[in-house]
Structure formats: C-alpha cells, structure tokens
Amino acid sequence: MRFDSLLDTVGGTPLVGLPRLSPSPEVRLWAKLEDLNPTGSVKDRPALRMLEEAEKDGSLRPGCTILEPTSGNTGISLAMAAKLRGYRIVCVMPENTSTERRQLLSMWGAEIIASPAAGGSNEAVRVAKQLAEEHPDWVMLYQYGNPANALSHYEGTGPEILADLPTITHFVAGLGTTGTLMGAGRFFRERKPDVRIVAAEPRYGELVYGLRNLDEGFVPELYDESLVDTRFSVGPRDAVRRTRELLEHEGIFAGISTGAILHAALGQATNAVKAGEPADIAFVVCDGGWKYLSTGAYEGSVDEAEERLEGQLWA
C-alpha cells in the first residue's frame, strides 16, 4: 500500500476477529484496530477532519495557533497534523495524565498548559475556554462540540465496519467526547437501524469527580442520547482485567479504555448467548497500551493495578 503522506493513511483500519474471547461461533466479537492509525489512536480521525474542515471554512489559516483541551490522544493527533501543516498548537491537559502523553505531545511540538487534576477534563475545558477568550486569534477546534469530530466516524469508522461486517448486530465504543458513538451511531441508525449502539464510559477515581458544585458538570455539546441504546460505566478494575485478557487470549496490546469497552462488549455477548441469538459485536480498540505503561496497570496483580490507577485519567 502506497500513500502520498502520513496524513493520507488515517483510517482504513483492520477489523479483527477474536476467536478465543468470542463465546461461540454464533456470538462473535470483532476488534476495530484504531491503534494502527499514524499516531496510534482513533483520535487521528476526528483531529484530521476537524483541522481540514477549519481550513476549508477559512477559520484556520497559515500562521494560526490551534488551541485544544485534551486528555492526550486528540492533542497528540492534532500536534502531528499541525506540525505537518505548519500550525502552532497549544494543548490544555489535566496534570493527572500519563507522562508518555506529555512526552509525545512535546515531541510533536505542542505547547502544554496543565490544568488541575481535580475535576479532570472538565477543568481542561474550562481553562481552554478561558484562554480562547484571552486569545481571540487562536483557533479552538473544540472536539466536544465540533460536528467534524462525529463526521469522521459517520463517514469513516461506521462505513468501514459495515463493509467488513454486514452482519453486525452491536457497535460498542468508548464515551468521552461522544464523537465515535455519535458519528458511527448516526450512520448505523440510517443504514442498519437494528444495530445496537453501546457506550462504555470510564469510571475514574473520586478525585476526577471532585467538582466544586454540580453546575460545573459537563455533557459534550455533541451528545445526542437518542443515538445510543445503552450506556455502561466501567471502573478501573474491570478495565484492567479485560485489557489483560485481550492480550492474554488474543495477543492484542491495548490501552486501558479499550479494556472498558471490551467489558461492555462481553456483557452484550453474554446477553446474546443467554437469549440464544446470534451476534456480531464490533468494538473499538482506541489505542495501544504503550502510553500507559508508566501507570502501572500492566504489572502486578489486578488489585495493585486498580490502586495505582486511583486518581489518574486512564482513558
């Protein structure tokens, strides 16, 4: 396969069967390997699309500075694309994210502004919005509310999966910005409405929910509840356990949020087996485990890993 540049390789990722973790030949799990994108995560899709749309509508011009609140992956994707296109980029990132993410952001040339750990990404969003007001010339692409985020999955992730797996019954993805679920969810609603759209949301330690008051809560502007059929909250223990099972049984080395998504996918598989119904369950592998080695989630017992993740933004 030959491409004109790295940016041209985004998307078109493999969909891989999981013969050992699938409960039966009739109830099968399929992993969409988004870690095979250029910077190693699913976020290359929305990042590139948001950047292209902003160039198209003229809001992003040569010499511009991009601003983005991010817990890591979106920032890394944007930084790579910004470097190749010649933009300066400033990322606001919570201080309780892994050191690998900060290192990668710096490598790709992003300037990092740390936001307080308490409150997690909420604080990053708040700080970024404040910076946007102070620097009206900076361009905030704003993944939580930018329709191009969902569009990248509506036109990419969703159609790719349906082409590879016409018998799909369930689509399972992580819920962060909600872009993956909104885009692929809308695509399946239109093209194969019986596909069940399942959201897996990471449940962090208490520090992350440490809001000063409930009015500081946050629901991404992109989120449309009607595009989701069910939503699960998955804690670090289940996420770590499933991340390890994915490597142990299928050889896939994924990040911790993928473990949370697999947990929800396996729940759907169990339901299908109980109901005696065939199922083809596709789920998103958001990224590889490389960026999370320093969190301690990949060594020692599950108890130890769970303890180490307390207070960290692991997804």
Partner 1 sequence: MAIEVRIPTILRTYTEGSKSVDGSGTTLSEVIEHLDSNHPGIKDRLVEAKDGDLDLRRFINVYVNDEDVRFTGGLDTSVSDGDQVVVLPAVAGG
Check: CB of residue 162 under 8 Å from CB of residue 183: no
The yes-or-no answer on residue 192 being catalytic is no
- For partner 1, which stretch binds (CB under 8 A), given 11-19, 23-31, 98-106, 121-129? 121-129
Closest CA to 41 of 312, 295, 256, 218: 256
> Is 39 annotated as ligand-binding?
no
Residues contacting 47, CB < 8 A, separation 6+: 74, 77, 78, 80, 81, 141, 143
> Is 13 annotated as ligand-binding?
no
Would you count residue 40 as binding partner 1 (CB under 8 A)?
Answer: no
Would you count residue 146 as binding partner 1 (CB under 8 A)?
Answer: no
| Nearer residue to partner 1 within complex by CB, 165 or 266 | 266
| Nearer residue to partner 1 within complex by CB, 165 or 239 | 239
Check: CB of residue 254 under 8 Å from CB of residue 33: no
| Nearer residue to partner 1 within complex by CB, 212 or 274 | 212
Candidate list 22, 41, 43, 121, residue with the active-site label:
43
- For partner 1, which stretch binds (CB under 8 A), given 21-29, 162-170, 211-219, 245-253? 211-219
| Nearer residue to partner 1 within complex by CB, 157 or 165 | 157
Please tell me the distance from the alpha carbon of residue 39 to that of residue 222, in angstroms, as a whole number.
24
The yes-or-no answer on residue 257 being catalytic is yes
Q: Using alpha carbons, list the distances in angstroms from residue 86 to 21, 43, 102, 177, 307.
A: 44, 19, 20, 26, 41
Specify the DSSP element, H or E, that contains 139: strand 139-140
CB of 269 to partner 1, least distance (A): 16
CB of 45 to partner 1, least distance (A): 13
Would you count residue 70 as binding partner 1 (CB under 8 A)?
Answer: yes
- DSSP states along 215-241: GG----TT--GGG-SEEEEE-HHHHHH
Please tell me the distance from the alpha carbon of residue 278 to that of residue 272, in angstroms, as a whole number.
7
Would you count residue 97 as binding partner 1 (CB under 8 A)?
Answer: no
What are the binding residues for pyridoxal 5'-phosphate?
73, 176-180, 257
Interface residues with partner 1 (CB under 8 A) are: 69-71, 73-74, 119-122, 124-125, 143-144, 174-177, 179, 199, 201-204, 206, 208-220, 225, 228-234, 315
Q: Which residues are catalytic?
A: 43, 257
